[in-house]
Chains A and B, each alone.
Chain A
Amino acid sequence: MIDFQTVFSDITPVPQNEGKEPPVCSIAYAPEFIEAYDYLRALLRKDERSNRALDLTTLCLKLNPANYTVWHYRRMILVELGGGGIDDAAITKDLDFADDLGGTNPKNYQLWYHRRALLEIRFKNATEENGIDAAKKELKYVDRILEDDSKNYHAWSHRQWIIRTMNNSDLWKSEIEYSHTKIKDDPRNNSAWSQRWFATHRGQVASFAGLGTFISCDELRKKGVILSSELADEEAHYALCGAEIDPYNESPWRYLIGVLMEQWRCAQRENNSHEISKAVELITNNISNIKELKHSLKDNPPLKEGAAPCVSLMSALVDLLELFVENEELLKEASNLCKELAEVDTVRRKYWRKRDANVMNII
């Protein structure tokens, strides 16, 4: 709390000016909100960068942590008070402040951005070793947040920013392990599967977008934009293991299809017979693995779902089977699966009918 009459006795508060028309979407601010922001407006006008101004931003941010102007003003004050920079002790103090303010589940852009702005300074001033330590410490902090909400979009993005900024081989590797830990905790955590993709690809995005000139599969693998053949095998295996734990979970299935399609599309694009036959082999193997899983499910239905048809599994199978446009047998299998899906996945019956029609068209 601030004793405004004493601390700001020289300041005339500036009320919010709504203009001469009646305000629109007028918010019924609490009296303490109005008082704090009236003084904030007065200080902003003078651009006063003092300790009492810092305290006022603390109060204003407690009242509304989403006010990005106040965060910005606060950083300007910190720079001024630090004699032209923010020293490491002040950074630690303000990281703690942001942490307290966010509570256990921080979900606003500004809080995370404040951390990032402070850490940018810390990383820039640190030696390589100290920088990595600081990064690890921050990753631990994010982990604590993810304990509470394992799908917090901002928290995962913040991890990506740290790892990308550091671009350190060990950090990239340990992020793969981290994704594994989070997937083990909850295989239905799609954010963790996405992070695994991010880490195995070292943050690079192929999607064949904006590449402009043609690059061969080999070159893309060397750059790590797409997985090496060995890694693709391993990751497909990993995904399938995840799917075995809970076949009704969409996430591992989509990760599997992502891994396989990356190899397939790259080969198709290069139109290189060696690449294509490698991709065909990879996909054929996985089709038989999936079918095996499908049969074992039939024999030993899981307790919870019983004998309920497994939509995620069936739909992954359709995606792979329909790639073989010259194999009528496989296409018919795909078509039959679509027909079954139209019956059991009723909310998407129109979609599955459409998929079936597409497959039938190729036949």
Chain B
Amino acid sequence: MKKFERLRHIRYFTTSLANLPKQYSSADTNRLTLVHFAVQSLDILGVLPDQNVCGDAESEVYLNRDEIIEWIYGLQTVPTLKIQATAEMNIDGSSSRYVGGGFKGSNYLGHCNEGSNSYDHSHLAMTYVALCTLISLGDDLSRINRTAILDTLKGLQKEDGSFVAVSPNNTNGLDVKESDDDCDLRFIYTAICIWYILAEDSPMNSASASMPCIDIEAATNYILSCITFEGSLGLTPGREGHGGSTFCGIASLHIMGVLDAVMESSERRGWKDDLIRWCVMRQYSLPNENENVMNNGFNESDNAAGIQGRPNKLEDTCYSYWIGGTLHLLGASHLLDGWALREYVLKCQSPYGGFGKVVGAMPDLLHSFYSMAWLAISEEGGCCKSEIDDAVEENTAKYECDVLAQVSDSVRQLSRLDCALGVCAKRKVSLKNAVDSLRTDQ
């Protein structure tokens, strides 16, 4: 087993926050997600500074918290107040509402200090990652335009419960129907997270609002209509089950506080078992003992088994989190072989820090974050607990024992993650305080 390269990862994520190679040009519209991946990973590693600056501008490891926060706020879109055609009321009881509130993914259309142009728009996924990143950086969210974001969120939900991802700030921009294709479980998930963080009627906040911000029942039904014959969830109704969409759906149900009720309903008897079976089956089989001896010699056994996103597809580190996280939320991650999965993820570590998609691949921020996220939750739910004792007992080679103990120690030192929301659990406490004060202010 490979060691966990903590210092190399810290260096990888901090240098990525400053500069990225041109291969990332295709992610130009979503730079904010890249920032999110790096910041969350550093938070899991426990190195986000309590003070503003960590390191110095000349050194390899340098982080200026306030600068990142300012840059993110530069992506908050300028919303437009629209008079409602219908008499429908809004969360604040008025009959006009905001559109275009939230965040955009980067400044390829311009900085918000330039005002907006007719193609500017906010995007649900970007608003979600902006909120998460700000929370992790210790921002108090006081500059978040909460009313505009919640108004916008409400306006984006369709009758079938799904959400349109993009909100233009005026009629010349992307029209809502235009982005119909973007209604799938990815945007239910990001919408539900935004609602959870900001809305008064979410489980995060105790007070119940007179006017619900989103239609939970419709969202729930949409998610359930994505159930496949295998028990997984497709990205939209009828599509093939997939690890990413399955996580988005299950995490949304969890955050809305309806997961248990949905699973226990007699209408869906058997679904939970189907779902757990589908998830558990996604872990690759272990190579048999004969193969191990042939490939690795006597002492170095290969017990790595990663996770695939669909049946008969290849292993990929990001599904460690999508599938492992789904099982975690279902209280069933202990049914995986947690150590074999750890071993696979660690095998995908790059010598430059970070993690690749598969063994030997170049590292990238997406796969690096989801690898870190899986490692952070792998300490919980008994996923690896009994296994370490077994492994140490069974393994006679001293080297392996040392490495196992090193991995175990370093994973234990990682910050715990709130699996459904995708931010460190400790940040939720400060988040609650921040939102509380936001509510009294506005």
Contacts and interface: CB of A to CB of B under 8 A. Distances in A.
Interface string B122-155: 0000000000000000000000000000000000
A209 B227 contact: yes
A35 to B, nearest CB: 13
A113 B180 CA distance: 9
Interface in B170-228: 172, 174, 178, 181-182, 221, 224-228
Contacts of B224: 207, 209-210
Interface stretch (B239-247, B367-375, B412-420, B424-432): B239-247
B25 A27 contact: yes
A19 B67 CA distance: 10
Contacts of A44: 109, 117-119
A68 B29 contact: yes
Interface stretch (B46-54, B306-314, B391-399, B434-442): B306-314
B71 interface: yes
A348 B335 contact: yes
Contacts of B172: 47
A354 B333 CA distance: 12
Given A73-B119, A346-B286, A348-B280, A28 B21 contact: yes
Contacts of B34: 25
A189 B305 CA distance: 21
Interface residues of A, number: 81
Contacts of A351: 277, 280, 335-336
Contacts of A208: 267-268
B238 A258 contact: no
Question: By CB atoms of chain A within 10 A, which of B74, B108, B269, B335 has the most?
Answer: B108
A205 to B, nearest CB: 5
Contact of A25 (B17, B284, B312): B17
B227 to A, nearest CB: 4
A47 B120 CA distance: 12
Given A44-B109, A151-B313, A205-B225, A69 B281 contact: no
Nearest to B387: A350
Contacts of B334: 350
B237 interface: yes
A190 B74 contact: no
| Prevailing SS type, chain B contact patch | mixed
Interface stretch (A88-96, A131-139, A191-199, A295-303): A191-199
A160 B238 contact: yes
A211 interface: yes
Contacts of B17: 24-25
Given A16-B108, A18-B111, A188-B312, A25 B38 contact: yes
Contacts of A160: 238-239
Contacts of B313: 151, 190
Given A345-B285, A348-B283, A194 B241 contact: yes
A135 B294 CA distance: 53
Nearest to A311: B285
A320 interface: no
A209 B267 contact: yes
Nearest to B66: A21
A51 to B, nearest CB: 19
Interface in A11-31: 14, 16-30
A16 B283 contact: no
A115 to B, nearest CB: 10
A29 B67 CA distance: 22
Interface in A317-363: 319, 345-351, 354
A2 B76 CA distance: 33
Interface stretch (A121-129, A140-148, A260-268, A275-283): A260-268
Nearest to B335: A351
A14 B236 CA distance: 39
A19 B227 contact: no
B385 to A, nearest CB: 11
Contacts of B226: 205
B24 to A, nearest CB: 5
A20 B113 CA distance: 10
A108 to B, nearest CB: 8
A195 B238 CA distance: 8
A63 B29 CA distance: 13
Contacts of B64: 22
Question: By CB atoms of chain A within 10 A, which of B267, B285, B311 has the most?
Answer: B311
Interface in B46-94: 64, 67-68, 70-72, 74
Given A41-B109, A347-B284, A347-B286, A67 B312 contact: no
A262 B74 contact: no
B280 to A, nearest CB: 5
Contact of B340 (A14, A23, A112, A347): A347
Contacts of A18: 71, 74, 107, 111
Contacts of A211: 267
Contact of A30 (B22, B108, B237): B22
Interface string A146-179: 0000010100110010001000000000000000
Contact of A209 (B225, B230, B274, B286): B225
A231 interface: no
Contact of A157 (B31, B235, B311, B312): B235
Contacts of A191: 240, 310
Contacts of A350: 334-337
When A and B form their complex, which 7 residue pairs have the shortest distance between CB atoms, in order from nearest? A209-B224, A258-B229, A210-B221, A207-B227, A194-B240, A17-B111, A351-B335
Given A21-B67, A207-B268, A348-B281, 4 more contacts: A19-B113, A27-B31, A30-B22, A190-B313
